[in-house]
Structure 1
Amino acid sequence: MGPGFRRGDSEGDAGSTSMTDTRSRRLRTLADLIRADALASQEEVTERLRSFGFDVTQATVSRDLDQIGAIKVKRGGVLSYALPDQIGAADWGTDRLQRILAEWVTGMEVAGQLIVIKTPPGSAHLVASAIDQAAMPEIAGTVSGDDTMFVCCRDQVNAHAILTRFKRMMGQKVSYA
């Protein structure tokens, strides 16, 4: 076993360790696993954590992957999870933003210097955080509510350019009508 790995850890241990300690160990182990191997799916991550004695569900793994900032990237032709320190900061922000836009955005439109973005209930903050972390100079900032967020662009031209970029990141056709 490598550093940070300890068999017998689980979410529900009633021993001397608290759930917080167990979660911290699980997150460290998860990060070590991602650095050591090309893990391509949440199912694979779940199986690997279970092999180290962690009693986890796929939902727990999904939350843990988000917590440590893991994203899927293509390395050597293989799509697998990577941590921010494994790829360039700019690439990490852009890859994460692309994934989150594709998964969580249900609609977008320009309103003056703002881009109004709609998401499922409870998800606007995820999109706002990803946009903030992408550190785009054309964007002054974001404000999020429950299912709607605003992207404040530095001017109206930038708002249209950013909307086009976001749509392309999501794989949507861009029309110039």
Structure 2
Amino acid sequence: MKENRQNKIKEIIETQSIETQDELLSQLLQQGFSTTQATISRDIREMHLTKVPDGTGKQKYAMIQNADTDVTKKYHQVLSAGILSLDYAENILVVRTVSGMAMAVAAALDNMELQGFLGCIAGDDTIFAVTRSKDCCKMIIAEVKKVASDD
């Protein structure tokens, strides 16, 4: 069931421009899959889906290639396209993103394996990340800015 659903998700995002989890859920329901938004969210994480620019100023879900270099490049593109600002208070890093991009940017941050980065929580356009210290926040901000500006 899970494998069939994830195969259908792959097919849907490869053939349609899907901007939100609700749109994806709607497509799955129309095609006979009984599922929930929470399940879709887990599938998105497990499948390593991310949002990418669709060429019209909007974002759409896309599969990231399996090759590590392709993944890294895609995540760097997500950071470049998605981050509006980075700030911190003590050991809390606050990342403001383009609306709808916080989850993709959070996945990219998690993928970077930054020293002192403990984890993050993403909303629609804001990410709260916890680091080991204030100094870690400063180093992480510098590294993320460097990576985001390289693309």
Q: Tell me the TM-score range normalised by the shorter chain.
A: 0.5 to 0.7
Give the CA deviation at 1:108: 3.0
Q: Is residue 160 of structure 1 aligned with residue 131 of structure 2?
A: no
**Which structure 1 residue ranges, 4+ long, deviate > 4 Å from structure 2?**
95-102, 144-148, 164-167
The whole-number CA distance in structure 1 between the counterparts of 2:129 and 2:60 is: 31
CA RMSD, 1 decimal: 4.3
Q: Give the C-alpha shift of residue 40 in structure 1.
A: 1.6
TM-score, structure 1 as length reference: 0.50
Flag the structure with higher helix content.
2
Matched pairs, number: 126
Structure 2 stretches lacking a partner, 5+ long: 95-105, 122-127
Classify 1:144/1:80 alpha carbon distance in 2 versus 1 (closer, same or farther; 3 Å).
Answer: closer
Hey, what does 1:24 align to over in structure 2?
A: 3
Residue 52 of structure 1 aligns with which residue? Answer: 31
Q: Within 2, Cα distance between the matches of 1:99 and 1:58?
A: 26
TM-score (norm 2): 0.57
From the two aligned structures, give the one with the greater strand fraction.
2
Kindly indicate whether structure 1 or structure 2 has the higher relative contact order, using CA contacts under 8 Å at least 6 residues apart.
Answer: 2
Assess if the C-alpha contact under 8 Å between 2:131 and 2:137 holds in 1.
Answer: no
- The sequence identity of aligned pairs, in percent, is 21
Q: Which has the larger Rg?
A: 1
Q: Secondary structure at the match of 1:71?
A: strand
Residue-by-residue CA offset, 1:20-46 (whole Å, 9 max, x unaligned): xx1121112111211222112222211
Matched, 1:37 2:16: yes
Looking at structure 2, the residues matched to 72 and 98 of structure 1 have their Cα atoms a distance apart, in angstroms, of 12
Instruction: Give the gaps of 5 or more residues in structure 1.
Output: 1-21, 111-115, 120-126, 170-177
Quote the residue 2:109 is aligned against. Answer: 131
1:145 and 1:85 mapped to 2: Cα distance? Answer: 24
